[in-house]
Structure 1
Amino acid sequence: PWAAPEVLTGRSGGTEAADIYSLAATLYATLTGRSPYEHGYQAHTQQELAQVIVSRRLPPIGRPDVPADVERVLAKGLDKNPDNRYGTALEFARAMQQVQQAYYGHATPVTVEGVPEYPSSMTGKRRVAPGPANVTRMDAPTGAWKKPLSITAVVVAALTAVVLTFVFVVMPHMDDAATRNRTSVSTPGATGDSNGTDGNPDDITGAEVVPTPENLNGTYDGTTVTFTWTNPQPKDGDMYAWSPVQGNSATSGPSTSTNIVADRKVELHDVTDKQTCIEVKIVRSDKQMSQNPAIACAVRQ
């Protein structure tokens, strides 16, 4: 429910733009109680929900007390085209500050090292949110501010929790989850089973599916471990992203760092572990990457 369309279709294993989409989807849910497309559509399975996220328009929040500018900010964060979303999380936060200031008369400071807490363009001007007559207006007496301020405090607390969750829980596992549990999305009339092994992977995206490296093998020579692999469909400009796998096991956890090399070979020196595992992906010149990594372990004899 929180995944960006390009993640669901395998065009991306997770980027800052995808993180911004997930954050916007979570903030949307604080106003509706459900993720955006669960709120707006009746999807009965994960496959149906993935199809809706990829192909249907973003449903409106549908609350008269939510200003249109709030929906506008969230809609930009939830744009299906990652290039149309906010360029950074800071830009997203600035947009939220502007809306807070406009409708609530204050804004939560943004804490980023070397960055002002508030944008220089922020003013004290307030606008009145549209809505029916019984909706509390922002220019009402001071006592009427209690509810908007409490709602703002809840949203800010939720935002803080979500950011911390993404930084410490989701992001370290995103590449691993995207490659091992990617949702397959198919269009009407497409062939193949539900996991996408026989169908045309370009049915929705129209993008090239970058293959997985083949024949990945590793050997020990004293304290040096050498891994080699082959590229089943080589193209000009191909590079290779390789990462060590935590715990010296191909299934023990996500990689700890990513390295880019031009050769189909990696040498690791001064290795003392009895087993060393890495994963490798092909990276095209247009930055497209293998949907699934090749994973192999070398074992000291």
Structure 2
Amino acid sequence: MNQRRPPAPPPQLPGFTHLELLGSGGFADVYLYEQELPRRRVAVKVLLPERISPSAAQFTAEANVMAMLSTHPAIVTIYQAGVSSDGRPYLVMEYCPRPNLQVRYRREPFSVAEALRVGVQVAAAVETAHRAGVLHRDIKPANILVTEYNRPALTDFGIASTSQTAAETTGMSIPWSPPEVFDAAAAQGGPRTDVYQLGATIYTLLAGRSPFEVPGQRNGSAELIERIERMPLPAIERPDVPSSLFAALSRAMSKDPADRYPSAVAFARALQKVQIELAHSVTPIDILDERPLDAGPEDDDGGLTRVRGVTSIAPIDTSTRPSATTAKVAGAAPPADDATIVRGPRVVEPIADETILRPRSPQDVAAPTAAPAPEAAAPTTPERSRRWPTILAASVVGVAVIGIGAAVIGSVIAPEPEPTTAPTVIAQDPLGDGGVPLVEDGEGVIRGGNAVFTWTNPAPAEGDQYRWHRNALSGRGEGHLTTEPTVTVPVEGADQVCIDVYLVRANGTFTNEAVTICAPE
């Protein structure tokens, strides 16, 4: 949003209390209101009468389309729509209090991991819109808000395209517009136009500037359009941006629309492949559509894309997992990763009943016996002399029973020895218990407007990285990864700047606590 014109006064809306102006654009003002029931803060976008179609039916249809799209997790939620008492249509939307992506990238470039995650999530939102027949036409960092849960949320779906011509809409965001929108003879709009703007947006998050903005030179509308039409895509001067990611951005931003990815989901798959290459977590592509994906062999992703309606987490079905008991009874070989199997109870072979002495139950007393009792064998033996053999025999049998019982119990409770042929399992240790050392010799100095931090790795290993967060009284900042034991952070007027540093191994383990380094110390 910008302040190129004075905002219109906020409308009086029943059930809402105006709080403040959030911003103004070329076709709408956005205000912060408090809704009375249910009580919550909401953003209300009020369209300017001269910028919208006079047809109320058309506005209603547009609001319905936006509400349908807003069920997507990466699209701003629309709560309701209406017309104020002074005739201005308005939309009541989810309030996203965090800074939008334009504010964030101007502070500092995004990490590669976050740029990829945001790119996949927003591409999924755009693909969902395309399948509903809606083109965005104005994808840019300022139109990607951030929810309270730190998820990107694309906004301004369909509003610009219905309130203005395509040329006017894209003219508002020249730095992220494709070449064809500046050619009056070329076809305007289409899914590949949105693909270009997606690529330009991700490029901006990584580079910290729009794709064809040249530092130190004139970057007016005429200069930008000339470069967009003729200049090759400039390289991103960052060592952590892999060539595969730049290649994906270059294809998305090809001058010829036919050379771009055919769809937003195809572009999202390309970003997923970069995530796999970098060993990052793969961000799922959420597409709210019942139709099967229309992808050719070139864009086959091996099942990484999931078309879904409502996401649900199914409980683990243990009935399909082979337990140790099943393997033993069936004679099957144990699983290769035997160390990670939760075993069920073992099968214990039945023990011969005649070796156990039990107290006789009333049923045993009443039942006939197969042999006469020992007392009947020698009725003429004195009572005391008859007891000693019985006691001695009982003692011997008792000792034997105790020994057998101990062996049986030991076989039940003793752990089963692991097979010697099982492969070694190396598991990630997210709690840092794998002995990853802390960084050492941390030092921070102030140089100009920046705080420069350095440290050393006491036990370097191949693939080591460092995760660091800016630490302040307001809380820990966003995490960043670096392969070098140094980082430079803007002071931003603070008397002291502190960061927390973790050593991260290539297998995902890391130190169980951070080392805090401050400048000045």
Alignment TM-score, normalising by the size of structure 2: 0.24
Relative CO higher for 1 or 2, CA cutoff 8 Å, sep ≥ 6?
1
TM-score by length of 1: 0.40
Bigger Rg over Cα: 2
